[in-house]
Amino acid sequence: MNMMALSNDFSESEQTLNLNELCVQHPTATYFVRASGDSMIDAGIHCDDVLVVDRSITARDGDIVVANLDHSFTVKKLELSPTIRLLPMNKADSDHQPQEIDQESVFDVFGVVTFVVHAIR
Amino acid sequence: MFAHVYCPDLLIQCEHLFRPELKSQPLIVYESITHQGSELIKLLACSPQARELGFKMGLGSEQLGQLIKQHSSTQESQTLVKCLPNRELYADLSKRLFSSLEMLAPSVTPVAGDEAYLDLTNLKRLTHSSQKVKGSPEDLDLETGKQQLQDFTYELRNSIEQWLGLEILIGVGATKTLAYLGCMAAEHDCNHRPINPSYGKRDEHRGITILTDSEFSQSVLAKFSTSRIRGIGSKTLNKLSTLGIHNALELSQASSQQIGKRCSVLVEHLAIELAGLTSQLTSERVVENQFDSKQLRTSQTLSDAAKTKRADKLMGYEIQESLANYAKAHLKAHTKGHGKNSIANSLLRVVVAMLLNAHKELIERQLICHEIEIILERTDMHAQGEIFVDNKSISLAEPIESLGPIKTLCRQIFENMFRDKTHYHSIGLTLKCLDQYKAKQVSLFEEAMETEKLLHLDKNDQSFKLIQRYCELHDMSKQRKSPHKQSGLPKSPSYTSQWHELLRVN
């Protein structure tokens, strides 16, 4: 009898933690994308990691953003001043250079990266 | 006060969101079905650039084939991009659109996968007349109300654009019909006003039309020919023109009683709504013709909604509002004291009655239907009175317009769904994916012949064969939905529903 009462308690207790609650604040405005390459390795973004991108957040200086630059999507650190630039975060590899956003480039921020899902095995 | 929100070219916008490089190219979304050895092409969406090339909704399969060939082979600077429908993506974004609207707006009534009405009554009470004495408290109230309405719509449009990456159009008016016209005016405005180059950004009015000012709304209404109002078909159009009514303004100013006498109650209802007064007509016909959103939302899968929407645009009609006779009959079918059959029979009688109505409409507008759906709303006794909605639909490989076969099909669907000892609230019937009768004249002729035969069989009480025939139909419709055998035609990746197809970023 006691066990019955207890099991009722079980079913009424809070649900199991859901990772979505932690990582997805705005479900309607959140998209997942997958990173490729190692240009953002210093930010903890490795190749094949899944990025949680929130479009409802307005990007600020220093945010890591997914942006559409000249019709291709890229993940970089956004610098707003003095000029708008997209900064790679990989000190070890000098191949990755900051990209200036000038008047002619087609540029818009797709969304702000809020979480990185990285598999370690 | 209502707002009508519409997401123009939803399918195209969805494709552009993850493939922005396509924005500058003409893009079409289409599917093709191999039917009796020949390929039938159906256009689901086309971008504005594709429209410039001559693509438009409602083109026949042959014309489409020619256009596609013509623009694929030539060495043009802008090559035509063709893609197959990515229904998962469209359904996901459509779901996001509605959940966002629900977060941002007070009361949302979905109409289709890409449009909805918002009830703004609680947002601010706004009066329609502008004849108030200036400086009076009411006048001030009106001004702040207007401002509030403007702020709300701008905020809504900007949020949806930022959150989802979709552009929406908003029309606001005292009634749903006015809001809808406002939305269409906004669309017209967007298509004909170039993006302001000096700012490099869209001006803030773009995509929004608010019809609260009576002078302004009159000028907008005057530009609308009656043929563009949803719910008005060719016959009504003729009747109205004999009354000297050619645009929405004239309809709104006409005596609604006179309209009611000469045309249907629905048109009378429209006239009253256009005048900015909420129609109080409660006659059965209007109630039946009125689309019940709550039900539709639950019954319609979103990909279906998108499909239906496209099919409707084919004829320039709107299925939900006026065509599909989405009747709702409240029935208290308590199981106590009744046998199973009597409940089933009484429900079935309702279905048939609704069908007769819908069918009349179908014939009147010279349409045929590809899909039949029945919706049953029930209370589950075991789940503390929670309301459940069951729906079942059959899509037909061959469209049907004659009543007999539809009736039989309906009965079959219904019998399949009906459960004993269940409390049913309401029942609905939708004829979906409507198409113009004339467009399929040839194949329909064959079908008509067969139907005749079938009816003949039915009379001789050989109903078994009838059932068999429809099983066949049903199976064929399944084939229609299965992936097509056309390789080499790209479908965009399932960006939002498959982990291995996520957008790659460098």
Helix axes B137-164, B87-104, angle to 10 degrees: 150
Spatial separation of the C-alpha atoms in residues B369 and B21, rounded to whole Å: 38
For B73, phi then psi, to 5°, come to -85, -35
Give the domain extent around A39: 2-117
Sign of CA dihedral B236, B237, B243, B249: positive
Q: Do A31 and B495 touch (CB under 8 A)?
A: yes
Higher pLDDT, B287 or B347: B347
> Which residues sit opposite B428 in a β-bridge?
B375
Mean pLDDT of chain B: 68
Strands (E), B186-294: 208-210
Confidence at residue B141, expressed as pLDDT on a 0 to 100 scale:
62
pLDDT higher than threshold 50 for residue B53: yes
> If pLDDT is split at 50, 70 and 90, which confidence band does A111 have?
very high
Q: Is B197 exposed, middle or buried (0-12, 13-18, 19+ CB in 10 A)?
A: exposed
Q: What pLDDT shows up at residue B264?
A: 74
Chain A contact for B103 (CB, 8 A cutoff): yes
Q: Is the pLDDT of residue B240 over 80?
A: yes
A6-20, B88-102, B222-236, B352-366, range with greatest mean pLDDT: B88-102
pLDDT tens column, B426-470: 677 776 666 655 433 233 333 333 333 333 333 333 333 333 333
The percent of residues above 70 in pLDDT, for chain B, comes to 61
pLDDT bucket at A12, cuts 50 / 70 / 90: low
Average pLDDT of the segment spanning B151-171: 90
The answer to whether A34 contacts chain B (CB < 8 Å) is yes
* B504–A29 C-beta distance less than 8 A: no
Q: In this predicted structure, what is the pLDDT of residue A57?
A: 93
Q: Sheet harboring B386-400: ordered strands across? A: B329-330, B423-436, B367-380, B386-400
Is the per-residue pLDDT at B389 higher than 50? yes
Structural domains in chain B, CATH included, are 2-10+87-220 (3.30.70.270), 26-79 (no CATH), 226-289 (1.10.150), 293-440+473-481 (3.30.1490.100)
Cα–Cα dist B369/B362, whole Å: 8
Least confident of A103-107, B86-90, B185-189: B185-189
Task: Classify residue B291 as exposed, middle or buried by CB count within 10 Å of its CB (0-12, 13-18, 19+).
Answer: buried
CB contact under 8 A, B163 and A74: no
Kindly report which listed range (A75-84, B47-56, B211-220) carries the lowest average pLDDT score.
Answer: B211-220
Q: Which of A11, A13, A76, A94 is catalytic?
A: A76
Would the CB atoms of A66 and B505 count as touching at under 8 Å? yes
- Spatial contact of B139 and B132, defined as CB atoms under 8 Å apart: yes
- Count CA within 13 A, CB hemisphere, residue B432: 27
Residue A100 tokens read as 């200036």
Closest CB to B165 among A36, A51, A55:
A55
Contacts with B99 from chain A: Cβ below 8 Å: 27-28
> Would you say residue B286 has pLDDT above 70?
no
Locus of tokens 């759906």:
B373
Q: Which residues contact B179 (CB under 8 A, 6 or more apart)?
A: B2, B3, B4, B117, B171, B172, B173, B211
Q: Give residue B380's pLDDT.
A: 63
Using the Cβ of B503 and the Cβ atoms of chain A, whether some distance falls under 8 Å is answered with yes
Amino acid at B250: E
- Report phi then psi at B502, rounded to 5: -60, 155
Angle (deg, nearest 10), helices B463-481 and B441-459 = 150
Query: ∠ CA(B169), CA(B172), CA(B173), 5° rounding?
Result: 145
Q: pLDDT: is B423 or B159 the higher one?
A: B159
Q: Tell me what pLDDT residue B311 has.
A: 39
In terms of phi and psi (left: phi > 0; alpha: psi -120 to 50; beta: otherwise), the region of B54 is left
- Please name the member of B21, B163, B496 whose beta carbon is closest to the beta carbon of A29: B163
Q: What was the pLDDT predicted at B132?
A: 42
Amino acid at B85: P
For the segment B92-151, what is each residue's pLDDT rounded down to a tens digit? 899 899 999 988 887 888 888 788 888 887 765 443 444 444 444 555 566 777 888 888
Domain count, chain A: 1
Which residue of chain B has the CA closest to A108?
B20
d(CA B467, CA B473): 10
Is the pLDDT assigned to residue B299 strictly greater than 70?
A: no
pLDDT digits (tens, 9 = 90+) for A34-77: 999 999 999 999 999 999 999 999 999 999 999 999 888 999 99
Residue A76 falls in the annotated catalytic set: yes
What is residue A121's predicted lDDT score, i.e. its pLDDT?
83
Q: Would you place residue B398 in the very low, low, confident or very high pLDDT band (cuts 50, 70, 90)?
A: low
- From residue B205, alpha-carbon distances to B153, B174, B193, B304, B479 in Å are 10, 19, 11, 32, 47
Residue B383, pLDDT score: 59
Which member of A32, A75, A106 has the closest CB to residue B502? Answer: A32
Q: Is A77 labeled as catalytic in the residue annotation?
A: no
Per-residue pLDDT reduced to its tens digit, B491-500: 888 888 888 8
Residue A24 sits in a domain whose CATH number is 2.10.109.10
Per-residue pLDDT, B22: 86
